[in-house]
A and B are shown apart, each in its own frame.
Chain A
Amino acid sequence: EIVLTQSPATLSLSPGERATLSCRASQSVSIHVAWYQQKPGQAPRPVIFDGSYRATGIPARFSGSGSGTDFALSISSVEPEDFAVYYCQQRSSWPRTFGQGTKLEIK
């Protein structure tokens, strides 16, 4: 089973600042990492797939990077609506696994 480790657990930023969230895989997953945004009481929303491709409707301030074992989700200038929990997930192999999440909170 591929374990995904996200860091930091919590990221406290002010609107307008840059956010960088990390996801590390226990073995290579090629580019097959997706990122999801989840707000309280809502289902997860796709943000990035296959490492760097933005999902439908996701603003350009979101970008993804990485391959192999190290991945990052960046938000160039955090907007108030971006404060949420973000999860990474791999589709390289079964079982599908998720990271434990990073909470992006308002400073």
Chain B
Amino acid sequence: QLQLRESGPRLVKPSETLSLTCDVSGGSISSTDYYWGWIRQPPRKGLEWIGSIYYNGNTYYNPSLRSRVTISPDTSKNQFSLKLTSVTAADTAVYYCARHCARAYCGGDFDYWGQGTLVTVSS
């Protein structure tokens, strides 16, 4: 059974960099069938896709965040990470990592999610 788990600091100061890691077990981030992505949800608001990475290192970012986001893999640890620079209070959110479909047919799109981690931006 595939499992994803987010980890990283829960409190980040304004103007600093938010860093999270998604640990994947029960499946490989080197699979050609899936992207591995980050989604966030500010308190009491909707879901926002941040970006995704593919097995070959290709990355895809939300244009609204592209200048501040980096997603990178660590295939040796079967993890992928998120870095978001120059954070403000508007970046306070629950951050989820998830797997999603990279083929014409996968049997689902964002089909496995981590439990999410609340990151607060505050001094």
A interface list, Cβ under 8 A from B: 1, 32, 34, 36, 38, 43-44, 46, 49-50, 53, 55-56, 87, 89, 91, 94-101
A44, A55, A99: most-surrounded residue (chain B CB, <10 A): A44
In the complex, chain A residues whose CB is within 8 Å of the CB of B113: 43-44
Partner of B49, one of A34, A49, A98: A98
**Docked CA distance A32–B102 (Å):** 12
Please give the distance in Å from B101's CB to the nearest CB on chain A.
6
**Contact (A95, B100) CB under 8 Å given A36-B110, A43-B113:** no
**Docked CA distance A9–B109 (Å):** 24
**Dominant secondary structure at the B interface:** loop
A32, A87, A98: most-surrounded residue (chain B CB, <10 A): A98
B interface list, Cβ under 8 A from A: 37, 46-49, 52, 60-63, 96, 100-101, 105-111, 113-116
Whether B47 contacts A87 by the Cβ 8 Å rule is yes
**Docked CA distance A59–B114 (Å):** 23
In the complex, chain A residues whose CB is within 8 Å of the CB of B61: 95
Partner of A94, one of B47, B60, B101, B110: B60
Query: Can you list 20 contacts pairing A with B, beta carbon distance less than 8 Å?
Result: A1-B63, A34-B110, A36-B47, A43-B116, A44-B110, A44-B113, A46-B108, A49-B101, A49-B109, A50-B105, A50-B109, A55-B111, A89-B47, A91-B101, A95-B49, A95-B61, A98-B47, A98-B48, A98-B49, A101-B47
**Dominant secondary structure at the A interface:** loop
Whether B108 contacts A49 by the Cβ 8 Å rule is yes
**Docked CA distance A50–B114 (Å):** 22
Q: Which residue on A lies nearest to B61, using beta carbons? A: A95
**Docked CA distance A94–B63 (Å):** 9
Whether B49 contacts A100 by the Cβ 8 Å rule is no
**Contact (A96, B111) CB under 8 Å given A1-B63, A43-B96, A50-B105:** no
**Docked CA distance A53–B37 (Å):** 22
